[in-house]
Structure formats: C-alpha cells, structure tokens
C-alpha cells in the first residue's frame, strides 16, 4: 500500500513534543509519534519523521524557531499546534494568535506538494484550578482558528471539542498534559482526518467505550508539585523548555 505522505514534520509545544507520555527510558512519545507509526503502518516504503516541538513555547517562538527549519526538510505533511501556552498567560490577544497562525499556514502552503494539518489541543480545563478561564479562552481560540482556516485546503482536527478527551483517564498526573491514552486518541483523530487507517492494536475505541474515570481532587500535594512551580516560572520569566532542543530535528525512519 502507498501511504499518502512519506515525509512528516511536527511543529508545536509540549502537546506535540509528547509530554505526559514518557517511555521507560525517559524519552517522550506522544501523538505525533503515533501519527508517524500510523503512516508507516499504512505504507510499504519507509516513512521519514521529524518532530521540532519544544515544551513551553508560545506561538511566536514556535513560528520563529520551527517553521523555516521544518520547510527546509522538504516535507509533504506538516502538523501544527500552537497558542496553548499563550492562553495560559495573564494576558493574551486571541486575535493576534489567530492572525499569526493563519500567516504560518499560508507560508507553509507556498511550498509545492505540502499538506498542512492544524490541530486544536485537547481541553484540560475541567481538571485544572481556575479552569473556567482556560475553557473560555480555549473555546475562543479554537473557534476562531478553525473558522479562519476553513476556506483553506488544510486538514483541521478539533481535539478541543472532543468530549471524550476531557475524561480524567486521558490525562497525566499534572492534569495539564495528556497521558499515553490521550496521545493515542489525538493521533487517532489526526489519522482519521487524513484518511489514514488507525491501527486496531491501539485500542482507541475500546478505551473510549470503557466508561469515565472518577474526577480527582486538586490536593495540597498537587499544588506543591505542579501549580506552584508553574507560577514560579511565570514570575521569573522562565520556561520548562529553556535550554531544550527538538527531540527529533531531522527526518528519520519510523521505528
């Protein structure tokens, strides 16, 4: 079988890097890795895959640091997600995030033979402190980006509207990043949107049909381990991605 894409590059932040889906050796996997595996499973020839995403990146640095290096790899598929870290800051200009996303897409579409998929991130607001504000901003951002890009030939994947993904079973212990189950479901959403079969062995539909998990409390230990360090980075202008490099900066065969 010939896969629709053979050179895949992922751009974004922690969502695309795969934070929350740690392998036993400490490496991050994540939905983009699953997408690459799905592409390879549907192909007879080797698929090349690169992932330039770095955790903590706001939209501006994603565009400045990742777009041109991604295009230089001459991909035939790019996936993009950004803006999640922007809406978590005290102030955010949703209109600017939308405009910059549209500019990125149009720049990518200038490259012949390149298909672009734009993802809205999964919605963690149900489980987070002050989640109502994130819900409101996330709704605005997802709706505005998807509306602005609807006339373009990009594939749109609205994970934010996937109600199943809001279940606590899909989230890691920090409740901000997806776990392996969540990343597999996002990958399933992406592959389905691209018209690529989802491997049965992932069990995505079986997990979804298994029922909801119990909502957990945000305890004092949770605040100490996750919330306070996040606030500390915001106050000091630091990021969880400071000093980090892309985990897969060049196109490599899919394992």
pLDDT tens per residue across span 208-245: 998 777 667 667 776 676 666 666 665 666 666 667 89
Task: Round to whole Å and give the CA distance between 190 and 187.
Answer: 5
Per-residue model confidence (pLDDT) at position 239: 62
pLDDT tens per residue across span 97-135: 999 999 999 999 999 999 999 999 999 998 887 789 889
Other Cβ atoms closer than 10 A to 98: 21
pLDDT tens per residue across span 43-67: 999 999 999 999 999 999 999 999 9
What does pTM read for this prediction?
0.90
Going edge to edge, which strands form the sheet with 155-158? 155-158, 115-120, 77-80, 7-11, 48-51, 248-253
User: Which H helix or E strand runs over 112?
Assistant: none
pLDDT tens per residue across span 150-189: 999 999 999 999 999 999 999 999 989 999 999 999 999 9
């Amino acid at each position: 079988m010939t896969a629709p894409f053979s050179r895949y590059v992922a751009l974004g932040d922690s969502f695309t890097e795969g934070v929350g889906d740690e392998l036993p050796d400490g490496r991050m996997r994540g939905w983009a890795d699953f997408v690459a595996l799905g592409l390879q499973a549907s192909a007879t020839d080797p698929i090349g895959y690169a992932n330039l995403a770095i955790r903590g990146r706001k939209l501006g640095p994603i565009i400045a640091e990742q777009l041109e290096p991604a295009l230089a790899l001459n991909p035939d598929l790019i996936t993009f997600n950004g803006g999640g870290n922007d809406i978590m800051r005290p102030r955010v200009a949703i209109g600017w995030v939308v405009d910059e996303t549209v500019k990125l897409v149009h720049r990518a579409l200038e490259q012949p033979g390149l298909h672009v998929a734009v993802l809205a991130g999964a919605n963690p607001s149900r489980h987070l402190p002050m989640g109502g504000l994130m819900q409101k901003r996330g709704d605005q951002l997802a709706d505005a980006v998807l509306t602005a890009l609807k006339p373009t030939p990009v594939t749109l994947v609205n994970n934010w509207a996937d109600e199943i993904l809001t279940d606590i079973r899909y989230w890691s212990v920090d409740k901000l990043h997806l776990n392996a189950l969540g990343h597999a479901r996002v990958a399933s959403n992406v592959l389905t949107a691209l018209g690529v079969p989802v491997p049965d062995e992932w069990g995505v539909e079986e997990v979804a049909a298994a029922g909801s998990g119990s909502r957990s409390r945000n305890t004092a230990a949770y605040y100490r381990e996750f919330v306070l360090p996040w606030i500390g980075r915001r106050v000091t202008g630091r990021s969880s991605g400071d000093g980090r490099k892309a985990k897969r900066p060049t196109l490599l065969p899919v394992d």
